[in-house]
Amino acid sequence: MRIEETSIPDVCIKNIDKSKVDLANDVIRVIHPLLNKDYVFKLKNVKQLQKTVNENKDLLLNRKENIAKKYILQKRRKKEFILLDRIKKLVSSGLLSKDISLKNEMVILLKVVDQVPESKIDSYLNETLNIITKRGIN
Amino acid sequence: MNLIKVNSLDKSKTIDSEKINESIIKRLMIICKEDKNSPIPSNKYIQLEKLQKELLIKNQKLSELLEKASKMDKEITEDITSTELRNLKTKESLLELLGSES
């Protein structure tokens, strides 16, 4: 007789056939549904679904970052648009024809308006607004 | 000490097949015993179905969000492009005006 040390309680040697049947029933009860085709298919499906969810999460995060960057750019371009509109008003009012240094400054600004730092754009926006308000230019 | 005595009464079997039988039965018994207090497999199946439903809902929501994000991305991109175009035209006309004034 072979005896092995395990953590499982003894099988009743007097009724080993019954033990085998019990074990077989346990095996069927516990194992069968796991091996069931439907279960395996479902498991595969769930794994695939989880993978898709993770991929979509990454994609969404990527899109979010991309939109955030574009939003910053959009804000910047809008500021440039407002600044150009104010310069246009200054030109239309004839003010720049009188003030040569301001005119030169505006010409330089126009050439580099899409490259200057945003703080500079903000400063020009304030400056041009002050001039327009002071002079009553519409 | 816990002992296991498996298949030892069947003398007709060869030692190798007996070893295999013992090994299989032992493993199956371990699985059965380990699973005694845990949810029954039908519950596992139900859990799996529940997880599948949850994942489907999550994926549906993610797809909707992705669609919204794509729409937003497209709108912002179009707006940036049109603003850049307008700015360029304004800039060119202003430079032309200021150039002709000097």
Domain carrying residue B83: 15-101
* Position B87 in a domain: yes
- Choose among B29, B1, B47: nearest CA to A11: B29
Report CA torsion sign: A39, A42, A48, A50: negative
pTM: predicted TM-score of the whole model, two decimal places:
0.66
Contact criterion met (CB < 8 Å) for B59 and A23: no
* A23-37, A52-66, A108-122, A123-137: least confident range: A23-37
Reported as a pLDDT band with limits 50, 70 and 90, residue A61 is very high
Q: Cβ B84–A77 below 8 Å, yes or no?
A: yes
Residues in chain B within 8 Å Cβ distance of A87: 94
User: How much is the pLDDT for A14?
Assistant: 64
The mean pLDDT value for A8-15 works out to 56
**Which amino acid does the sequence have at B40?**
I
Is the pLDDT at A8 greater than 70? The verdict is no
Nearest CA in chain A to B87: A81
For residue A54, being part of any structural domain is answered with yes
Residue B102 at interface with chain A, using a CB cutoff of 8 Å: yes
Greatest mean pLDDT among A5-14, A100-109, B68-77? B68-77
Query: Of A84, A85, A111, which to mutate for an interface test with B (greatest number of B Cβ within 10 Å)?
Result: A84
Q: For B78-96, what is the mean pLDDT? A: 95
Would you say residue B22 lies in a domain? yes
Residue A79 falls within a domain, yes or no? yes
Domain membership of residue A118 as a residue range: 15-135
Q: Does some domain include residue B2?
A: no
Q: Which positions 39-68 of B are in contact with A (Cβ < 8 Å)? A: 40-42, 44-45, 48-49, 51-52, 55-56, 58-59, 62-63, 65-66
| Residue owning tokens 């309680």 | A9
Q: How far is B57 from chain A (nearest CA, A)?
A: 10
Determine, yes or no, domain membership for B72: yes
| Nearest chain B CA: its distance from A41 CA (Å) | 11
**pLDDT at B34 (0 to 100):** 59
Mean pLDDT of all residues in B23-31: 67
Residue A5 maps to a domain: no
Cα–Cα distance list, A109 to A7, A95, A112, A129, B1 (Å): 84, 16, 5, 16, 90
Q: pLDDT at residue B12 above 70?
A: no
Is residue B41 situated within a structural domain? yes
Query: Looking at A92-101, B11-20, B70-79, which range is the least confident one?
Result: B11-20
Got the DSSP string for B14-66?
-HHHHHHHHHHHHHHHHHHHHHSSSPPHHHHHHHHHHHHHHHHHHHHHHHHHH
Q: How many domains does chain B have?
A: 1
Number of domains, chain A? 1
- The verdict on a CB contact (< 8 Å) between A53 and B58 is yes
- Domain presence at residue B23: yes
